[in-house]
Each structure stands twice: as structure tokens, then as C-alpha cells.
Amino acid sequence: MTDTLEFEPTAYHIKKSNEGPALDIADFNLWYGEKQALFDNNLEIQKGQVTALIGPSGCGKSTLLRCLNRMNDLVDDLRIEGRITVDGFDIYGRGVDVIALRKRMGMVFQKPNPFAMSIYDNITYPLRVDGVSKKSILDETVERALQQSALWNEVKDRLNDSALGLSGGQQQRLCIARAVASDPEVLLMDEPCSALDPIATARIEELIEELKGTYSIVMVTHSMAQAARVSDNTAFMYLGRLIEYGETDTIFTNPRKSRTNDYVTGRFG
């Protein structure tokens, strides 16, 4: 393992799926005010696969994830350079409909955040905002999304109960159901299991396994074990730079950079 060029542009050693990248991040830089938080990030997210973003606290994982559906637009004094494209389409291009973009890029957060309304309404809310009112469509969407999030059997008899009465793990699966209700292309997950117990975590990991293929998944995680179990590809970030990106097995067993090795073996971070 050599570290000849500490911050050389990311080398790709990923077997590409025939369908090409779901997302292409190219020469991407980001500043919060004067402070640069992302430096020359280059990353192709593969379609239908799970990509884990790992790295020590403050390295920019959430910042990069939030750029993928323009959640960072809400931050004052933020500046970006570079491109992020979805199927060749520049998401920071002029005239982009950010609301429509966020539907293509469903997001699940660290802490389950169901709305204070019924289970049914949580899932149909985004459709209703879009003006969908036909009951058969809403019913079908609720059943499909809850089946996809492995929650249907647990809640099918209590769809009108408050979502806040669900357990933490069920709430997180409901948030995943809400994200898949609008049938996105990509699911962005920022430490989706960190507020959950081991059993609820295992359910979410199984779910991620089932959902990949249908959706391309980008997941931030602090758990090396989780990244190793769940992801196909792993990107290791350090101080805002993408140090190494590759197939998860390679990153964990035979990384090219010594810094990656130190992190995945728990020597720092």
C-alpha cells in the first residue's frame, strides 16, 4: 500500500454496472462562508447498488449527501463549484425544479421524523401536495410503500392511527415508506440506524438489501461493520476530500491508501 500522492484525484476501481452511473459528482467543491468543506470530490454512484460514505466526524459526509438533493440550498452563505449530474442532467443547472429533484432523491434522516399525522397520511402527504386525490391511487401507494418498507403486516390494521405511536424502528421504516412513495431513483440515508437498537437496525439493513436494485442507495454510516455488511461500494472521506473509492470488499480488505487502512481498522476516527 502506498500513499505517494496523498490527495490525488480519486482512483476508480469499481466494476461498472451496464446501466451506468445513477449520479456523477465531478470536481465538486463546497464552501460554508469562508470555510471550504468539500475539496475536488469526484465520485460515480452506481445504479441499483448501495454506496456507503464513511469517514471521521466532520469530514463532510452529510454535506456531500445533502448536496445530492440540494438540501444545502437552505444554508446561508453557501457556495459550490463543480457538477452533480443525474442521468446526465445537471442538478445545479439553471431552471431546475428543486422540489421535483427531491422527489427523485428521497431522503431518510438519522432520527426518524414522521409527521404528526396518521400512518396513512404520512405516506400520502407528498402525493396530496401534488394534487393526487383519487382514493384508489392513494390506497395502492400506501400498500406498495408499506410492503416495500416491510411494515405492511405490522400496521395494515391501524393505518389511521398516529404515526407517533409506532416504535422507533417502525417509525424509521415509515420514513423509508414515505421516501419510496413517490418512487424515487435514489435513496439518500444519513446514518439511518444510529438512533435504533440492534434488532431494529438489522431490519433496516435487510430492507436496504431488498430495496437496492429498485433504487440506488447512498448511505452515510459510522459503523464499519454496517458498511461492510450492506454496501457494494464504499467511499472514504477525510477532511472534505474523497480519499478512496472502490468495491467495499477491496476498501475493507485491501485498500490502496494507508489512511483508508488506518480508518477501517479502527486506528483513528
Ligand X SMILES: Nc1ncnc2c1ncn2[C@@H]1O[C@H](COP(=O)(O)OP(=O)(O)OP(=O)(O)O)[C@@H](O)[C@H]1O
Pairing type for strands 216-220 and 186-190 reads parallel
Residue among 47 and 70 whose Cβ is closer to ligand X: 70
Would you give the binding string for ligand X spanning residues 6-45, x where CB under 6 A is met?
Answer: --------------------------x----x--------
Question: How far apart are alpha carbons 162 and 153 in whole angstroms?
Answer: 17
Binds Mg ion by CB under 5 A, chosen from 62, 69, 124, 226: 62
**Backbone φ and ψ of 93, nearest 5°:** -70, 170
Cβ of residue 190: shortest distance to ligand X, in angstroms?
A: 7
SS (H, E, C) 104-161: HEEEECCCCCCCCCEHHHHHHHHHHHCCCCCHHHHHHHHHHHHHHCCCHHHHCCCCCC
Should residue 62 be labelled a site residue for ligand X when binding is judged by CB under 6 A?
yes
Residue among 48 and 269 whose Cβ is closer to Mg ion: 269
# binding residues, ligand X (CB under 6 A): 11
Tell me 16's DSSP state: P
Residue among 62 and 221 whose Cβ is closer to Mg ion: 62
Cβ of residue 144: shortest distance to Mg ion, in angstroms?
A: 30
Residue among 123 and 220 whose Cβ is closer to ligand X: 220
Question: How far apart are alpha carbons 25 and 83 in whole angstroms?
Answer: 6
Cβ of residue 71: shortest distance to ligand X, in angstroms?
A: 11
Select the span of 2-10, 55-63, 100-108, 140-148 touching Mg ion (CB under 5 A).
55-63
Cβ of residue 121: shortest distance to ligand X, in angstroms?
A: 30
Q: How distant, in Å, are the alpha carbons of 108, 190, 222, 269 from that of 202?
A: 16, 16, 15, 24
Scan residues 130-189 and list those touching ligand X (CB under 6 A).
none
Residue among 120 and 236 whose Cβ is closer to ligand X: 236
Among 197, 166, 101, 182, which Cα is nearest to 205's? 197
Query: Reduced to 3 states, what is the DSSP secondary structure of residue 64?
Result: helix
Question: Can you give the binding site for Mg ion, defined by CB under 5 A?
Answer: 62
Question: Can you give the binding site for ligand X, defined by CB under 6 A?
Answer: 32, 37, 55, 57-63, 75
